[in-house]
Structure 1
Amino acid sequence: MIRVLLTDDHTILRDGIRALLSMHSDLEVVGEASNGQELLDLLAVTPTDVVLMDINMPVMDGFATMEHLREQYPEVRVLVLSMLNHENYVHRMIEAGATGYVLKNADIAEITYGIRTVASGRPFLCTEIGMDMLFKIVRSTTSPTDTARPRSGDLSKRELEVLRLISEGMTNAEIADKLFTSKRTIETHRQNIIEKTQAKNTAALIKYAVSNGLLGE
């Protein structure tokens, strides 16, 4: 039996994952935490094999939490469950001590496979992240003229949609309302776009999008 502790500040997400994991006889959710500090408090009294943890959390985020986990609970495996798909986040969390990284849009089969994989001590990256990294390696081996122009494929369909709405002057709250999602989700998309385009501000981001023809796609 693999003992799993869920750590995410969205109750509905934890409820959903708990329900899905309960369908697997070899997985047991032994606790839930809404931030890193709650996780550390629970680990002190709750035997755990795998922590399924988000990065963006109040009080103590995933990066800060990893430092404490590495020092206090080195035997506990961490599988990051996040919507942050940029390689910088993946690299930072793995470097900090996480054993695996899976995106929130992954299906339950991939998430459970990731849990079992990291529980056995083996590293795990979800398919989407692995393929993104592979494609970047392939592109890096092509000629400079092929890679000089950033490609819209580097941005997801949702990120392109958010980028277009940013270019129209809409605020994060307005974009969230239009796309029927939370303001925090839009902030995350915006940060991903900035990371991928390396734009330092909104003006630079729009200039980048226009000059690379991303708004017309």
Structure 2
Amino acid sequence: MIRVMLADDHTILRDGIRAILSHEPDIQVVGEAGNGQALLELLTDTAADVVLMDVNMPVLDGFATMTALRTRYPEVRVLVLSMLEHENYVYRMMQAGALGYVLKNSDTTEIVYAIRSVGAGRPFLCTEIGLNLLYRSTQRLPPASEATEFNDAADMPPIYNPLLNRSGTVELSVREMEVLRLIAEGLTNAEIADQLFASKRTIETHRQNIIEKTQAKNTAALIRYAMTHGLIE
């Protein structure tokens, strides 16, 4: 039996995951918490094999919680369940000690499989993240016909930035492009959420992903970058 503890600040998501796992005979949800601090306190009295945890949480976020878990409960295996798909988040959480990373838009079958994999001590990345990382890694390498030796450091091409595509522009998802265009129109997160039929928290996450990718310091800088690189008119 895999004992699972849920950590996410959205009650409706925890309820949904609990309902899904209730049909799995080898998985038992033993507790749930709305933030990292509550999770750590819950683990003092309730044993768990796997923690299914979000990155964006109030009080204590996923990164800080991951550090505390490795120190206080090293035997607990962590599977991240998040909307944050950018490779920086994946790398940081995996480097901090998480054994798996799965997106919230993953199929329920994949989420259940991920729990079983992490519960058995096997690392796991959901299909979408794995394909994105594979695609980006292939974009870093020049075609074999272009391969050559460089006799001087000055002759070498610039170091590849994994956030950029071949045109030197950051790669934004379709949804991120929609959010970016609405930001440029001056809409607030709440107004964008209404237009795209999404939650405000979801739009905040997309906005943070866009800022991370473009490295813009504020909205004005973000719009200037988007116009300069032809992302918006």
- Please indicate the TM-score interval, normalised by the length of the shorter structure: over 0.9
Instruction: Report deviation, 1:5.
Output: 0.4
Q: Determine the structure 2 residue equivalent to 1:147.
A: 166
Between structure 1 and structure 2, the one with the greater Rg is 2
d(CA) in 2 for partners of 1:79 and 1:163? 30
Q: Determine the structure 1 residue equivalent to 2:220.
A: 203
Q: Determine the structure 2 residue equivalent to 1:110.
A: 110
d(CA) in 2 for partners of 1:162 and 1:88? 20
Q: Determine the structure 1 residue equivalent to 2:161.
A: none
d(CA) in 1 for partners of 2:131 and 2:142? 17
For these two proteins, the number of residue pairs brought into alignment is: 214
- What SS does the aligned partner of 2:84 have? coil
> Structure 2 matches for 1:1-217, cutoff 5 A?
1-142=1-142, 147-150=166-169, 154-215=171-232
d(CA) in 1 for partners of 2:94 and 2:111? 17
Aligned CA RMSD, in angstroms, stands at 1.7
d(CA) in 2 for partners of 1:8 and 1:52? 8
Q: Give CA-to-partner distance per residue, 1:17-74, whole Å, 9 cap, x none.
A: 1001111111111111001111111111111110000011111111111111001110
- What SS does the aligned partner of 1:117 have? helix
- What SS does the aligned partner of 2:59 have? coil
Counterpart of 2:169, as a letter, is P
Instruction: Report deviation, 1:102.
Output: 0.6
Identity within the alignment, %: 69
Instruction: Report deviation, 1:155.
Output: 1.6
Q: Give CA-to-partner distance per residue, 1:147-191, whole Å, 9 cap, x none.
A: 24326xx22221111011011111112212222322222111001
Label 1:60 to 1:128 Cα distance change in 2 as closer, same or farther (>3 A). same
- What SS does the aligned partner of 1:68 have? helix
TM-score (norm 1): 0.93
Counterpart of 2:133, as a letter, is M
d(CA) in 2 for partners of 1:59 and 1:105? 25
Q: Give CA-to-partner distance per residue, 1:110-152, whole Å, 9 cap, x none.
A: 111111111111111111111111111111113779724326x
**Consecutive unaligned residues in structure 2, runs of 5 or more:** 144-156, 159-164
Q: Give CA-to-partner distance per residue, 1:79-124, whole Å, 9 cap, x none.
A: 0000011111111111111101111110111111111111111111
- What SS does the aligned partner of 1:147 have? coil
Counterpart of 2:111, as a letter, is I
**Consecutive unaligned residues in structure 1, runs of 5 or more:** none
Counterpart of 2:213, as a letter, is K
Structure of higher RCO (CA pairs closer than 8 Å, 6+ residues apart): 1
Instruction: Report deviation, 1:200.
Output: 2.6
Counterpart of 2:166, as a letter, is T
d(CA) in 1 for partners of 2:166 and 2:130? 20
TM-score (norm 2): 0.87
Deviates more, 1:93-102 or 1:192-201: 192-201
Instruction: Report deviation, 1:207.
Output: 2.4
Q: Give CA-to-partner distance per residue, 1:190-210, whole Å, 9 cap, x none.
A: 010111222232222222222
